[in-house]
Amino acid sequence: MEYRVYNGVGYLRLDRGDGIVSSVLDFCRREGIATATFSGLGGCGEAEIKTFDPETRAYGSRTLSGMLELVSLWGDVTGDGNGGLSQHTHALFAYVENGEHKTAGGHLGEATVLVTAEIEVRPVVGGAIGRKVDPVWGTKVWDFGDRTGEEA
C-alpha cells in the first residue's frame, strides 16, 4: 500500500496481494483516524462476500476468485468500544463465469488485490462514532453515545 493525505483525505493505492479491508484499517491506525467513510474501485483476485440471513441472524459467506472487477466499494470505520477499530463494508464485483458477465455483492469480509485498487478515506471531523449491538437483529449498528457531533 502506498498513500498520501491531501486536505485531510486519504488516497490509498493498493497493489497486488494487499487486502482491501485490512489496508483501510491499517491506514486509519497509522493516521490516528477513529471514524471515517471510504469508497473505491479496482481489480481483485479473491473476495469473501457475506449476506445476512434475518431468520438465522447469521451471515452466509461465499468466496469468489478469478479476475474480479471491484465496481463499487463503500464502507465505514468506527471505534469498536475496546480502543480498536471496526469496519462495515459493502462491495460489488463484476466477473465472467462460463462466458457470461455476472455480478455479486454484499458485505465484504476481505478482498485481495490482483491488479490495483484506489481507495479514498474521508475522516469524520468534529466527532466520533462507535458501534453497539442492535437488540432485534444482533448486528452492530452506529452508536452516537454522548460523542461530540452535530445533531442531524
Q: Any idea what the Cα angle at residue 68 is, between residues 66 and 72, rounded to 5°?
A: 160
pLDDT per residue as tens digits for the range 32-66: 999 999 999 999 999 999 998 988 888 899 999 99
**Domains in the chain, CATH or no CATH each:** 2-143 (3.30.1330.80)
Q: In degrees rounded to 5, what are phi and psi of residue 8?
A: 80, -5
Q: What is the DSSP letter of 34?
A: S
pLDDT per residue as tens digits for the range 56-95: 888 899 999 999 999 999 999 998 778 889 999 999 999 9
In contact, 36 and 77? CB cutoff 8 Å: yes
